[in-house]
Amino acid sequence: MLALEPPSPYTQLLDAEPEAVLPPQPKSVRDSGLPQQLIIELVAKALYLGGKSHLPILTTKLHLSINVLREVLDFMVAEQVAEVAWRGDSDIDVQYQLTSAGKQRASAWLERCPYAGPAPVTLEAYRAMVERQAAQAPQSCADELAAEFTDDFLAPAVQRMLGAAMHAGRSMLLHGPSGSGKSTLARRLGALLQGLVAVPHAIVVGKDIVQVYDPAVHRAPLPRQARAAQQASERRSNDPRWVLCQRPVVALDASLDADMLDLQLDAAGGCYRAPPQLKANNGLLIVDDLGRHNVPATVLLNRFAQAQEQERSALSLAGGYHFQAPCRVRLVFVASASPSSLLDDAALRRVGYKIPVGALDAASYRTLLRQQCLSVGVAYDDAAQRYLVDELHAGSGLPLLACYPREIVSRVADFAAFMGEAARLSIPALDQAWISMFAGANVERG
């Protein structure tokens, strides 16, 4: 059992304004929750690497408020680690530089830990924020799901299972033949996650820094979301150590191995990179291609399912130090093989919803084909469409999978562009596209 820690001044600030998306700006070192020595070292390293710097420039580099930095710099000046290089008319129009003794200390601090990025938040503050945002997450409803998937031709039963799983926050396994659109469907579930989350640039665990914010995962708010968030916190300044983001969607493909699920040491950067389950907090974590990873499917599923059930993930730092990080994610597994061939009975019971995603019916397939023609600029033809469904698909026994219309229509456009002709859906054009897609296709036309 985890020991209960007394709330810090910073987590008390978080609790004071439960409706705010971003936490308030700390007004002092104590409010920041960080040891003063950590901030001193970050400031010294920034001055060592950047040279003489204005106070506002340091706030931008370190993502700390002017009040916090001024308190630390006053101490550094008193200790003859830093000095005022120039002072203007205003309180913030000040330039600082290191003293000779300060340069020696900064060099030693950089050698011990090269990290010189944004100031972190404490693990305690990160836990509090993740839990608060999980409790405030809006639940999706049937109308939202129907609006998002109106063009995906999902069977009503599949839509209801997806909606129930998302509403309850339970894990799901999308299974069906390759090409049925499972991976695309899983990623689109992320659009049902409403609201914004605050993600820290980094967290501090003991004396180590873990980078959490990843611009490839944590996308900026949409304009309407940003306006609403600004109105919610317009009465005060926000803590610049946090970034306002859409709820994240993290997708793991077949390249995943066991080492990627723990912290990744970045020796050059002097920090650790957060694993995917940490980056996905308060969002969606997709494990694609289940069964094709270097980790056995049952082991992988059990590890993520246990973390989701316990709402925490066990992580370790170099040297063997272990700690618990929050894990509040929606889990989606995607598999082309049958669930029973991948997972044992115990693992299958841990999956909340097993959702089959199969072939389209003929009417949906025709509609999707017509939509793809319109999208790509290929002239549509009913007779050619009937030939595709009734002759090519039926004759070969290939199911009407959602992946085929886009690929077929794009190849029709490719051949037409090469020949300098107008692209149109015709029987000869479909034969060409079909042969180029399927090895051994027995289609011979002039």
CA distance 435 to 427: 12
CB 286 within 8 A of CB 251: yes
pLDDT at position 12, please? 60
pLDDT mean over 309-334: 94
At residue 204, φ and ψ (nearest 5 deg) are -110, 130
Does 341 share its domain with 261?
A: yes
Confidence tier at 1 by pLDDT (50, 70, 90): very low
Does 52 share its domain with 164?
A: no
Note whether residue 263 is domain-resident: yes
Does 334 share its domain with 377?
A: no
pLDDT at 440 over 80: no
pLDDT digits (tens, 9 = 90+) for 345-404: 999 999 999 999 999 999 999 999 999 999 999 999 999 999 999 999 999 999 999 999
Q: State the CATH number of the domain containing residue 130.
A: 3.40.50.300
CA distance 73 to 80: 10
Does 213 share its domain with 314?
A: yes
pLDDT above 90 covers a percentage of the chain that reads 76
Q: State the CATH number of the domain containing residue 47.
A: 1.10.10.10
Domain that holds residue 417: 362-437
Does 77 share its domain with 136?
A: no
Does 269 share its domain with 375?
A: no
CB 354 within 8 A of CB 173: yes
pLDDT at position 231, please? 66
Q: What residues have CB less than 8 Å from 303, skipping those under 6 apart? A: 261
For residue 315, give both structure tokens. 């992580």
CB 211 within 8 A of CB 274: yes
Note whether residue 23 is domain-resident: no
pLDDT above 70 covers a percentage of the chain that reads 92
Confidence tier at 113 by pLDDT (50, 70, 90): very high
Domain count, the chain: 3
CA distance 431 to 177: 24
Domain boundary among 296, 325, 356: 356
Domain boundary among 356, 381, 412: 356
Does 157 share its domain with 132?
A: yes
Does 130 share its domain with 101?
A: no
Compare 106 and 232 and report the one with higher pLDDT.
106
pLDDT at position 10, please? 63
Does 208 share its domain with 312?
A: yes
Does 369 share its domain with 291?
A: no
At residue 285, φ and ψ (nearest 5 deg) are -115, 115
How many CB atoms sit inside 10 A of residue 9's CB? 12
pLDDT at position 446, please? 39
Confidence tier at 152 by pLDDT (50, 70, 90): low
Does 415 share its domain with 306?
A: no
H or E element that contains 184: helix 182-188
Q: State the CATH number of the domain containing residue 425.
A: 1.10.8
State the pTM of this model: 0.87
Does 164 share its domain with 307?
A: yes
